[in-house]
Copies of this chain bind each other. A is one copy, B any other.
Amino acid sequence: MSKPGLPQGTRDFGPQTVYKRNFIFQTIRSVFELYGYEPLETPAMENLDTLLGKYGEEGDKLIFKILNNGLDHESKKDSARAAFENILAGKNDKVITERALRYDLTIPFARYVATHFHELSFPFRRYQLQPVWRADRPQKGRYREFYQCDADVVGSKSTMNEVELTQIYLTVFEKLGIDVELRINHRKILEGLAVSCGGTEYTVPITMAIDKLDKIGTEKVKLELQEKGLDEKQVKLIEKYLLIHGSNAEKIQQLTDILPNAAVQSGLQDLRYVLSFFENDNSNINHHPGNIVLDFSLARGLNYYTGIIFEVRAKGISIGSIGGGGRYDDLTGLFGVPGIPGVGISFGVDRIYDVMDELNLFPPTVQKSTQVLFFNLGEEAAIRCFDLMQELRRAEIRCELYHEHARFDKQFKYAEKKNIPRVIIIGDDELRSGIAKIKDLRSGVHTEVPFGDLIRLFNAESLKPKA
């Protein structure tokens, strides 16, 4: 058999990549937990019924479905015939597939909340960091298996939640060392724009067109609006809206001038509330206020958001959004439990990885390779090395013994290839003297250390300031 490949759009993660990804995951998790968000994990498989119809027609097509058992290549003739006949007879809808892979983390969360409604205490804060699967056409930066990372609080209408989620975004990206711009807007403001254009029936076409602004530019947005039946006056108003600019305060002033209606005022009230926590001279908020930018052209697609919406972009690198979210009125209505509002944010962890890798932002300490290789100079020495290694390991020092008695150059090469910074050489002479030879492969420096002092050598190193 020839060497096997991987399915399109999927990836292996080797050790160094896993360490780096875990650094991102662990940073986000620890911040979530500081704010009272708790972990939830749901299975990769959901019942197909749970997922279908939740992501629009296009989404349904991108759900990976799992073949019912028995319907495989082994018994394919019989099962294909049976499936075909059943379907023609209209006898069984579920003859081919009843299960599917999770497409996002929101619907499984909604299913969980609906099912456990009576056991949960509200507001319920959860975070979830798991892979999802989409049968999208793979391309650079778009995979068929990728991680999502969501935090949601449900059962609360308080805008304090938006304040805290904003704070979570800024804290995480500060800890990761990524300079970001957090854009915020409010669905009520887009609704207010539609109202000033003649009525809420314009909300969907206007939102859809504005959502494409980044991709197609103002002129094509205007064209699309005309095609959707908006007249010159309406398009002019929208153009004026899109040209709003300046500081956050200037933008608010311009918006109020252009769209003096109640929906806009209601949206602005929430936005002002959130901004108030970050724009005053509060010494406890040490993030630069410039990081939070009102962006009235932010639309976040045609999803279920009803209030404040968020989007995060990394400064100085063109990679699209690395986070997004917003407030919704009804998480679980589709599952028979109406009236649970909430707000959530998401981290685009695959893109965050790409940004950090490209900008060289991973601290060197993230790479947890073996700290020292013990050379193997024969059975007797190896047994003594094994004992010494047990002492080091009890002191949490990562070490290895070369697996067999071999030439020095072979053992050096292994250490170099595995990026092990130090080797310890214990042969017959060292066994007699009780003093180990140590070579630092980074500096090339040789030292000699009595067996009993080996731990101290590493402990001294781990006390040095970390990057």
Q: Could you tell me which A residues sit within 8 Å of B by CB distance?
A: 1-7, 10-15, 18-19, 22, 30, 33-36, 38-50, 52, 60-61, 63-67, 69-74, 76-77, 80-81, 83-84, 87-88, 93, 96-99, 101, 111-112, 114-116, 121, 123, 125-126, 131, 133, 135, 144-145, 153, 156-158, 160-161, 163-164, 167, 171, 277, 282, 284-285, 334-337, 368-370, 382-383, 386-387, 390-391, 393, 396-401, 403-404, 413-414, 417-418
Distance from A160 Cβ to chain B, minimum over Cβ atoms (Å): 6
Which residue of the partner chain B has the closest CB to A153?
B403
The dominant DSSP class at the A interface is: mixed
**Complex contact A76–B87 (CB within 8 A):** yes
Given A2-B336, A45-B7, A393-B35, A158 and B403 touching (CB < 8 A)?
yes
Q: How far is the CA of A14 from the CA of B133 in the complex (A)?
A: 22
Contacts of A115 in B (CB 8 A): 3-5
Distance from A85 Cβ to chain B, minimum over Cβ atoms (Å): 9
**Complex contact A369–B403 (CB within 8 A):** no
**Complex contact A386–B3 (CB within 8 A):** no
**Complex contact B71–A96 (CB within 8 A):** yes
**Complex contact A335–B1 (CB within 8 A):** yes
Given A4-B115, A61-B69, A403-B158, A18 and B36 touching (CB < 8 A)?
no
Distance from A273 Cβ to chain B, minimum over Cβ atoms (Å): 10
Contacts of A335 in B (CB 8 A): 1, 3-4
Q: How far is the CA of A455 from the CA of B274 in the complex (A)?
A: 26
Q: How far is the CA of A43 from the CA of B131 in the complex (A)?
A: 9
20 further A-B pairs in the complex, CB-CB below 8 A; given A10-B44, A44-B133, A277-B386:
A3-B336, A4-B115, A10-B45, A12-B40, A12-B112, A34-B393, A34-B399, A45-B145, A61-B69, A61-B72, A63-B72, A67-B96, A72-B97, A73-B93, A77-B87, A80-B80, A121-B417, A123-B403, A160-B403, A282-B387
14 contacts between A and B (CB under 8 A): A6-B43, A6-B46, A6-B47, A14-B116, A18-B38, A34-B397, A44-B44, A45-B64, A45-B144, A61-B74, A66-B101, A80-B84, A164-B401, A282-B387
Q: How far is the CA of A273 from the CA of B347 in the complex (A)?
A: 51
**Complex contact B404–A158 (CB within 8 A):** yes
Q: How far is the CA of A126 from the CA of B13 in the complex (A)?
A: 12
Which are the 7 A-B pairs with shortest beta-carbon distances?
Answer: A15-B38, A10-B43, A36-B400, A121-B417, A18-B39, A13-B41, A84-B84
**Complex contact B40–A18 (CB within 8 A):** yes
Given A71-B96, A337-B3, A45 and B133 touching (CB < 8 A)?
yes
Contacts of A35 in B (CB 8 A): 393, 398, 400
Q: How far is the CA of A33 from the CA of B41 in the complex (A)?
A: 25
Q: How far is the CA of A48 from the CA of B66 in the complex (A)?
A: 13
Q: How far is the CA of A285 from the CA of B63 in the complex (A)?
A: 52
Contacts of A161 in B (CB 8 A): 403
Contacts of A164 in B (CB 8 A): 401
Distance from A5 Cβ to chain B, minimum over Cβ atoms (Å): 7
Contacts of A39 in B (CB 8 A): 13, 15, 18-19, 22
